[in-house]
Every structure is written in C-alpha cells, then in structure tokens.
Structure 1
Amino acid sequence: MSPQWQKSSFSGIDAEDCVEAAHAEGHLLLRESDTPHATLTVTPEGLAALIRTCKAARRFPVLSTAAS
C-alpha cells in the first residue's frame, strides 16, 4: 500500500516547495515536494530527538557552532 502524504501546515496553501510526511509500519516518512523520490525514513523517537536538538540550538546558538 502506498503511503498517504500530507503537506506541512507551515508550507502554506499554494507553496511549491514544502515538506511532506507519511506514516508506514511504525516509521515516519519525510520528503520535499520538489524531490519526491528522495525519502527519509525515521522513527517517531528519532524525529522527536532531532526536533529537540534543533530547538535547543535555536535557544543556545553555541550548540549549533560546536558541531561544525
């Protein structure tokens, strides 16, 4: 069964380039609408960790430069 992709609410209604997400067998699928053949597969826990790290880097910019 093919995944049902949903466009990010941050993309706006008429946006050409947007992030899309789908669910498949315990994993989340992410892709950009302009490159639908390139799909990133993550676990819900992995995506949550990525989001937490990105939010922390915005609050504490030194974290974002430390990895460089």
Structure 2
Amino acid sequence: MVNNDELIKFASLFNDIESLSSNGADLEAVHYVVPWVENNLMCGKKANGGFFASKAQLGRLIFDILY
C-alpha cells in the first residue's frame, strides 16, 4: 500500500519530466522505467507490470498499477 509520503514524492516527479525518462520512478518499493511522459501523463513499466498516472489540475494524482 502506498503511504502519503510516497505519494507526495511520486507526484513531484511531474515537476521534472525532463529527467524522468532517464531516472525512472519508484512506487510501492518497485522501480519502473518511464518510457513515456507528457505534461500531466506518465507511463511506467517493468518486466511484468506497469502503471499509468495522471496529475489533474486540482492537484490530485490518479494512477493505476497493472500487474
């Protein structure tokens, strides 16, 4: 389960999308490669799963982890 601090850190990734492709993203103690990112959309993947995330205008973070 994702805790509040991890969500805040994850949401801050949208502030530096230039380095996101080379650094990747961590969520629930799992590192994901981020092959695609735009202004408010992000896609992460690993060998057997991935995620899609969107940051809404109201500051809400919406994501779906795929296994």
TM (normalized to structure 2)?
Answer: 0.31
User: Quick check: which has more Rg, 1 or 2?
Assistant: 1
TM (normalized to structure 1)?
Answer: 0.31
More strand by share: 2
More helix by share: 1
